[in-house]
Structure 1
């Protein structure tokens, strides 16, 4: 038998795990200390309140980040599911007259404080006309949305989707949460499952 010396031996390579943890295994003392720290219950009411506040803050931070990035795992229950995603995209892909309300409110305030009764009357008329346009826009959006939901999700429960869509459409686009994932006028995908 021929034996190789250790210097001649081929180097042994271990295949790397694609999903390895990326850090060394903690020693027994470190692991026990970490477990003891996690198991240590808060003793006073202040400690309990601080721990609850920290947990709430961390949870709400995750939800806020998910709302901005579009990660549906951390959404609130009212925003989850393909039907709600379609409703959000449907509302976000159309121009809404609500976008004009804030600039028009500023214009009406300027006209109202101008001291001229004619200009104030014009401002009030413009505001009333805009509010009527917003109501008409919401009614048309509701009608089209219900038709699309019946076509795309015939077997799904669509209870509450109209209220969800109306509340979302009454917000300015940059203030909507979850953040809009589509642009105005963008064609929506046919499948949302």
Structure 2
């Protein structure tokens, strides 16, 4: 009664004739705007929050790992603002090129800590004097290092070191060489870049 004609159902759809591709042409129909917008739409709140959270954490972890690897290499673009620039690189090189008493202070303090458990008066007195002697020597060494760095920055860059540079250099000198970030880019006794 109101149905379709059976002859129309039996016919196979005709194949669309392919036109040869033209060089320099797009060779495809322009997509509809509503189709493109629909493909770009994303919900404000994902349907599976746990999976979205896991994915965000994984992306953030990958980003942090990439930045850390670049920092370890000393890549200038990946360094935080406090480590960027030729002045800071020169200061790091000046610290890394010499033996610093501060870098041996931490391992020595472990030995001092072990000695402090001995309940003999001679051990306590020895620990007391040795610790204060090392701290005083480390402070003097840091002061001399800073004077040398400040003079080198003045000569090389014709400007005073930026604010906070003294603490930057001294804290680096108190770290063990293997734990410094960015990694030392110069051997001991080498000339700064």
TM-score by length of 1: 0.70
Structure 2 unaligned residues grouped into runs of 5+: 1-27, 29-37
Q: Return closer, same or farther for 1:109/1:38 CA change in 2, 3 Å cut-off.
A: farther
CA-atom RMSD in angstroms: 2.6
Report the equivalent of 2:11: none
Does the CA-based 8 Å contact 1:93-1:183 persist in structure 2? yes
Report the equivalent of 2:101: 97
Offset at residue 37 of structure 1 (A) = 8.8
Larger gyration radius, structure 1 or structure 2: 2
Does the CA-based 8 Å contact 2:93-2:192 persist in structure 1? yes
Q: Which of 161, 166, 188 is 2:165 aligned to? A: 161
Q: Residue deviations 1:23-78, cap 9 Å, x none?
A: xxxxx9xxxxxxx9987566255455444423321221111101222222211222
CA distance in 2, matches of 1:154, 1:106: 42
Q: Which of 132, 139, 147 is 2:136 aligned to? A: 132
TM-score by length of 2: 0.70
Q: Tell me the SS of whatever aligns to 2:119.
A: coil
Structure 1 unaligned residues grouped into runs of 5+: 1-27, 29-35
The 4+ residue runs of structure 1 with deviation greater than 3 A are 36-42, 44-52
CA distance in 1, matches of 2:146, 2:67: 28
CA distance in 2, matches of 1:120, 1:132: 19
Offset at residue 118 of structure 1 (A) = 0.8
CA distance in 1, matches of 2:117, 2:88: 43
